[in-house]
Amino acid sequence: MPRPMEGSRTLTHALASMLAPRSVALIGASRKRNSVGNDVLRNLLYGGYRGAVYPVNPSYRSLYGNDCYAAISQLPEPVDLAIVSVPNRVLERSVEEAIGSGARSLLIFASAELEGDGKARIATLARSAKVALCGANCMGFFNAMQPIRAFSALFPDDLACGGITCIAQSGSLLQALLFNDERLQFNLAVSSGQELVTTAADFMDYALEQSATRLIALVLESVRDPAGFIQALEKAQHRGVPVIALKLARTAAGAKLALSHTGAIAGNTQVYDALFSRYGVIGVRDLSELVATAILLSAPKRAAPGGLAVILDSGGERELIVDAAADVGVPFANIGAETSQILRDSLDPGLEPINPLDAWGTGREFEQVFEACLTALLNDPDSALGMFVCDLSDELDLHAAYAAVCEAVARSSRKLLLVMTNYSAWSHRRHAVRLCRAGIPVLDGTGPSLRAIKHALAYRDFLCRPRSSAVPGSAGNVRAAHWQGVLGSRTTPLSEQEGYALLADYGIAVPPHAVVNSREEALEAARRIGFPLVLKTAKPGVLHKSDVGGVLLGIAGESELAAAYEDLSGRLGARVLISAQAPAGIEMAFGLVQDPAFGAFVMIAFGGIWIEYLEDRQLAMAPLDTEAAARLIADLRFAKVLDGVRGMPACDRTALAETFVRWSQLACELGPYIAEMDLNPVLVGPTGTLALDCLLIPQRLHCTNEQHGI
């Protein structure tokens, strides 16, 4: 009989039967070397798994000393996990037999490219039976906490149990991480493949229930369970577990490949960036950056307040680090006078007691010099973490001495210390493993290492932020209900007057205005509003008025108004909108994106006619609070313009942030009813904001146009 698995929390999770099974059946077990059925069987038998293993294949009576069964229905007990290692031609029948025999979970390696809608049939069958399913088209998983190796590639060596959970929709990329770097120590590694039933979100939830999990690394083509994914991210945030994500298919070409690879529909890149920002997910660009960040953030210590403290043995490498850190955006610690004095007392004459510190002088008693200086740098109140820069080589006694210095300093400090090599191709495996085992991460390559440090500082700051106070609008909200009714039945764009009314209902300031149909009405409205004025065509269907000469500015008096009205009405029709001329200010733009998976996102940008050319924008998940809105505004490249340039007065940033918050509330309440909406420009000045132009395309109109091929 199998021994009971340890940890009651694990056993009660919905994925326990898969990831911590008490018994496993391998359908398609084989004696043929280098076959999946053989590699998986040997992984199970010799990888430390303590449960019962039942090989299933009618061609054998026994395999590796275990009885082999002709069919899963002949096993002495229903199994927790049935691993289905068979070709597509018999896959569906094998799945039916496994579920019919009481298997509580499934693992499918095959691509499941079946006749008809075979994938959907398998998924429906598993869901109906409430059976968890890993795959199809995956490589399986390693759970070092149990341990169990349900993996399609044989790995005979020991894998130490660490604190990294890796969930990858690409099996090959997962394999690269698992088997190539001893600094990466996993508690759980899952190749989730097509995620026909069980998704990355489910595996994340399981990992977050395990006390061993210090970090989650994701390799994603798409998110197949958006609501579950967000719940998992919220859980990770609550528990202080960093999540790193390498999002694949970020380009249009990459997204096209994703459709043909695992059936994933890759989402808009900026939407994913905004989603990750909202929940503190660390987005990385490649595998090297993922590895560096995972090594750093899975270390026993985390970054403290402050900047980076650096010690080196080279002036040239110091110049390299200073330049590269400026490019990446990593701040250095501003060390105090006391620290500078300790450095001065320890260094050879002529060396500057500054951060970053080149501490190599004559080389006399260099161990004591480096230990004293590194300790002082690390203990400085403004040091968030310390870094010893050295292109390690296992062949040099000097570098063995440097490793000993780092170990001594790390033991005496509560702060995080790491070692960084500028050149990652040097042979330093022995030193790297030794230091990592001592809690001192070793990172390779200037760029990936500094980006990892930036991520560590950003995650520290994210955890220190107060939780967002923004609350999504209520479905029973009278304001929302009214406009949902208007937009839900609308098959034409909203007029500018209607757009102004909508904005005013959400507390977004608009200029005094009126719609007129004759010169006399125009003169009467002008007397109420006051000069100077703006005239815009209100002809239905004209969305971009300035493109057709439909906007006339700076109308100063009645005679000028009469002439302007005659011109505009003669070209574009009698219906005209008159509004007060706005005061001088900076032109911003607001946008709304309704993502089919994750809901409403809002954009803020420097606007007017230059919006496409400046490309200075920030996208965020709605709704926002004022603190989040202010951060987005500050992150715009041209944000300093808002503080006044060339004699212009400073703009009211607080008012701009509050207006953007109201816009995010509108997006949250009405997003599903809107296909496209933007405000451009939104004028911001010293006394507040004013929305001058509103474009809104209802979702129903968008769907109608799509149906007619427009």
Q: Which of these, 206, 219, 190, 234, lies nearest to 283 by C-alpha position?
A: 219
622-673: pLDDT as tens digits: 999 999 999 999 999 999 999 998 878 999 999 999 999 999 999 999 999 9
Q: What average pLDDT score do residues 126-152 get?
A: 96
1-137 CATH fold: Rossmann fold (3.40.50)
162 within 8 A of 437, measured Cβ to Cβ:
no
Three-state secondary structure readout of 438-493: CCCCEEECHHHHHHHHHHHHHHHHHHHCCCCCCCCCCCCCHHHHHHHHHHHCCCCC
CATH of domain 586-707: 3.30.470.20
- Class level of CATH domain 160-298: alpha beta
697 within 8 A of 514, measured Cβ to Cβ:
no
Q: How confident is the model at residue 254 (pLDDT cuts 50, 70, 90)?
A: low
Q: What average pLDDT score do residues 587-605 get?
A: 92
Q: How confident is the model at residue 258 (pLDDT cuts 50, 70, 90)?
A: low
Distance CA 603, CA 616 (A): 10
Q: What is the pLDDT of residue 4?
A: 35
Distance CA 15, CA 669 (A): 35
- Higher-pLDDT residue of 307 and 700 is 307
Q: What is the pLDDT of residue 695?
A: 86
367-419: pLDDT as tens digits: 999 999 999 999 999 999 999 999 999 999 999 999 999 999 999 999 999 99
User: Phi, psi at residue 158, to the nearest 5°?
Assistant: -70, 145
Q: What is the pLDDT of residue 265?
A: 47
Which range is least confidently modeled, 81-95, 136-150, 318-332, 689-703? Answer: 689-703
Q: What is the pLDDT of residue 475?
A: 54
Q: For residue 618, list its beta bridge partners.
A: 604
For every residue of 389-412, DSSP letters joined together read E----TT-HHHHHHHHHHHHHHHH
Distance CA 71, CA 147 (A): 26
- Class level of CATH domain 301-464: alpha beta
User: Phi, psi at residue 247, to the nearest 5°?
Assistant: -85, 115
Q: What is the pLDDT of residue 707?
A: 44
Are domains 478-488+495-580 and 586-707 of this chain identical in fold? no
Question: Does the structure show a pLDDT above 90 at 214?
Answer: yes
Q: What is the pLDDT of residue 260?
A: 46
- The structure tokens 């906007």 sit at 551
Pick the CATH number of 478-488+495-580 from 3.40.50.10490, 3.30.1490.20, 3.40.50.1370, 3.40.390.10: 3.30.1490.20
Parse the chain into domains and list their residue ranges: 1-137, 160-298, 301-464, 478-488+495-580, 586-707
Q: What average pLDDT score do residues 97-110 get?
A: 98
Q: Which of these, 129, 347, 270, lies nearest to 598 by C-alpha position?
A: 270
- Higher-pLDDT residue of 318 and 427 is 318
Q: Which of these, 653, 685, 661, lies nearest to 587 by C-alpha position?
A: 685
